[in-house]
Structure 1
């Protein structure tokens, strides 16, 4: 064996295996961005705002798996686990104390699919207020008619 091979083996023994794109893997709960179908943030996971989009993605991509962030309480993941069971998609709760991720759930393949838009848009409070205001105005118009 050459000195380079010995150094590589020693470094791997000390620091662990070299990992491709470690920051990306930490953010996406152990997978790469190019493999992801859809992502829910922790907030979306706790509020169940994006459950319909996740169900649609599971229906369209039956050969995926669901990665759930272990930092989120399991009571907030009941619906996501039920959806995974409904569509026969395996799920894993990822517990990585070394990595902090803002993501709560990641639906992913084990190969690259390069889906352009993976993030579910946050429903803003402004849009909710405008919807309530429009609904109120519609009810008043209907009352006068």
Structure 2
């Protein structure tokens, strides 16, 4: 009987015990086994994630897009539009964090059941597309600068 009273007091003081609280914080309130894909802040602002997200919405219908409430309203608006066009639920999630860094997980697409997907990140080809384009632009401007210095009138 003493254990029951202690459990009751602990629940009143600390709340109900949670399963894997660190995992739930990391994945915006859901378990890793339910996650279909995640997006970091840098992926949202620098890559074309929309086609990847749409393909995952079609492959795994009935999920919810969990979005960190600290995201800029313009990005939230884009995500709302994306989910409305694809009949996907969207839920804004408040987190304990007050600042987001480039590697923060800010978008999680999850289901109500375990899918146990091994790779939940954006494919590498999408991540590096913009980096390659930036390098091309940089080499073009460097070469133009070099030739311009050779052939410019002084």
**TM-score (norm. length: structure 2):** 0.76
What 5-or-longer segments of structure 1 have no aligned partner?
A: 136-145
Aligned to 2:84: 85
Could you say if the C-alpha distance between residues 108 and 100 of structure 1 is closer, same or farther in structure 2, counting changes exceeding 3 Å? farther
Where do 5+ consecutive residues of structure 2 fail to align?
141-154
Is 1:53 matched with 2:58? no
Aligned to 1:64: 63
Shift of 1:125: 5.9
Task: Give the whole-Å Cα distance in 1 for the aligned partners of 2:69 and 2:47.
Answer: 17
CA RMSD of aligned residues (A): 2.6
Corresponding position of 1:115: 117
Per-residue deviation, residues 8-29 of structure 1 (Å, max 9, x unmatched) = 1111111111111111100100
Report the Cα offset of residue 71 of structure 1.
1.3
TM-score computed with the length of structure 1 as normaliser: 0.80
| Number of residue-to-residue matches in the alignment | 135
Contact 1:26 1:99 in 2 (8 A): no
Aligned-residue offset at 1:123: 2.5
Specify the SS of the correspondent of 2:128: coil
Structure having the higher Rg: 2
Q: Structure 2: how far apart are the matches of 1:44 and 1:17?
A: 35
Q: Tell me which moved more, 115-124 or 20-29.
A: 115-124
